[in-house]
Amino acid sequence: MAARTFRVATRGSRLALAQTARVVDKLRQRFPQHAFEAYVVTTTGDTHPAGAHQAEGKGIFVKEIEEALLRGDADLAVHSLKDMPTETPPGLTIAAIAEREDARDALISRNGAQLKELPERAVVGTGSVRRAAQLLAARPDLRIEPIRGNLDTRIAKLTGARASPVAYDAIIVAAAGCRRLGLADAITETLPTDLMLPAPGQGALAVEVRHGNTEAARMAASLDDADARQAVTAERACLRALGGGCHVPVGALAEANGDALVLCARVLRADGTQLVDAEGSGSSDRPEELGTDVASDLLGRGARALLGLVEGK
């Protein structure tokens, strides 16, 4: 194929641009005959920060980027997978799970205190109902307050470098974002998964392409990480079987164990007073089946009531 320039759609935040740059660098290394350039798209989540609250998996950071792909304005798109709904729109496909960083959540505290060391009634900022519920399950005395903005903004609000109506003692963010922005030193504590299960797909980057764009799909596929794809496929299958877009906090993490895949998942009441855990293992080449089985186990253990589902619905 003759040399050409491929446009890679992305959000304009510093983290999104850094993640896209990692993917673009790899594409340039593998396909030096082509040029690749970032194509910045403003999403609903960027323009309506209040609506971005509790936005994991709701698609508000994805929709306009996918529309750009479908129109042909871009050839590829890079997303944080946890921002993507479990159903991909007709005409598009996730051609690669390009890489996965540390999937866990991280606590950044103002005075260097770990979660167990935070004083009673400490104020913890998070924009995620999943994180809030699990924090309250572990520390019901905490005061959870919403915090919005990109990672740099949230850290600035915590430290007081940026004005905020709330004085936070700590915030909870994705460890992957900190590491990709060179802010790993800001992390006070990486939270263990028995306390804080991440969002399905957290830490993974997805490369999406339009059906019929065979060259873009071929190039993207060269970046696919099979282990990461199997893990996130199980996590997202579990979320999909539970209802996908519900507002109930759901955490899930799959990890390889030899030739098997082990999936842990959790459904909680938003105030953290009730939670249901399930764990399952299965063949790594059938991650969808594993995710569905673990979701069924969760429902059988009582998650149905937390999800607000009606039997047979």
Q: Are 19 and 83 in contact (CB under 8 A)?
A: no
- pLDDT given for residue 52 in this prediction: 45
DSSP 256: E
208 confidence band (pLDDT: 50, 70, 90): very high
Give yes or no: residues 273 and 218 share one domain.
Answer: no
Give yes or no: residues 77 and 145 share one domain.
Answer: no
Instruction: Judge whether 83 counts as a catalytic residue.
Output: yes
Mean pLDDT of 112-120: 97
Whole-angstrom distance, CA of residue 248 vs CA of residue 82:
15
In a domain, residue 198? The reply is no
DSSP 115: G
pLDDT averaged over every residue in the chain: 93
Range of the domain at 270: 235-307
Q: Where residue 218 sits, what CATH number does that domain have?
A: 3.40.190.10
Overall pTM surpassing 0.75 (yes/no): yes
Give yes or no: residues 90 and 217 share one domain.
Answer: yes
Mean pLDDT of 93-102: 96
- Is the pLDDT at 179 greater than 70? The verdict is yes
In a domain, residue 197? The reply is no
pLDDT per residue over 215-242, tens digit each? 999 999 999 999 999 999 999 999 999 9
Mean pLDDT of 106-129: 97
Question: How many domains does the chain contain in total?
Answer: 3
Mean pLDDT of 144-171: 94
Catalytic residue among 75, 83, 102, 297: 83
Residues 6+ apart with CB under 8 A from 182: none
Mean pLDDT of 66-71: 97
Residues 6+ apart with CB under 8 A from 312: none
Joined tokens for residue 54: 């509790």
